[in-house]
Structure 1
């Protein structure tokens, strides 16, 4: 893994991404339905995220969670006391990031608060929006805090699957800062675009 620190503008205290998502992706032509196909090479963690999200291979959850634990142990994170998954942009029967967050919490022996941060308006997939400004506008007012965390303040770990411009992490962390039961906010983005 090529762990990289994600610079903060004050929204979070410490954030890292574990590795790039894609090493290379080359167009190879159109399929029978007129969609461009790609020959894509991903990092190990990028391939695991791809298999989990798009091939519904939930056996990848444990591998990804163990990589997050390794990153937490190799970086100067404060003691994590609660894990929070980034709310999904796409409705699925089983949310990949939530499953990863629950596994990380289980491995750490702490609580996963699945409902603390909720997406209250649809934004579409952030990957479909090009710029930070477009993403920030789409995310404006989309998160809400559900006070499921009590007796804090706690050090929280927010887990997301992909870091690109940082707009969604910034919006989520700024909203989490409004919860007085959360002290420090650490972030692990499993993969990054660049």
Structure 2
């Protein structure tokens, strides 16, 4: 089947996204063709803006449109508790529960020797720098309950021990092998409530 090069390039572009197979990429590309020119321009501008205007928060490593994200600037949050998560999408899931009012630290992944990700690829130095602040009393390890997340939590608990900070792990109300971003609010709330000291 022959398709013009621009549509083939668009399909290829969509296929580079995680979870998008050939048929879905083709469906998305043809949906773009049917959209109004203005809507397509807005969509393209949104893509460009995300890459151009977003940065990493200098405190928690979350994505932000400013040097320090809104969560880190929020004076009503409990600065004595830091919740360590793997990715920004996990932060979004935690915030949906409306149960956690502390601060976050985004690692940017998990230890995974198979994928060539070691502790040096994660945002651990900036976490350790934050822990030197005497205000921090508890570190919640909310990495995913899979092999990589457990390895990362164990590594961090050992690394943080000399700081004398209480280290807890979210309870396994989450299915083993699951990801935080797919958990519902009730499950995440129970996991937070049932966290345990490591």
TM bucket, shorter chain: 0.3 to 0.5
Q: TM-score, normalised by structure 1?
A: 0.37
Q: TM-score, normalised by structure 2?
A: 0.36
Structure with the higher strand share, 1 or 2:
1
Query: Which structure has the bigger radius of gyration?
Result: 2
Structure with the higher helix share, 1 or 2:
2
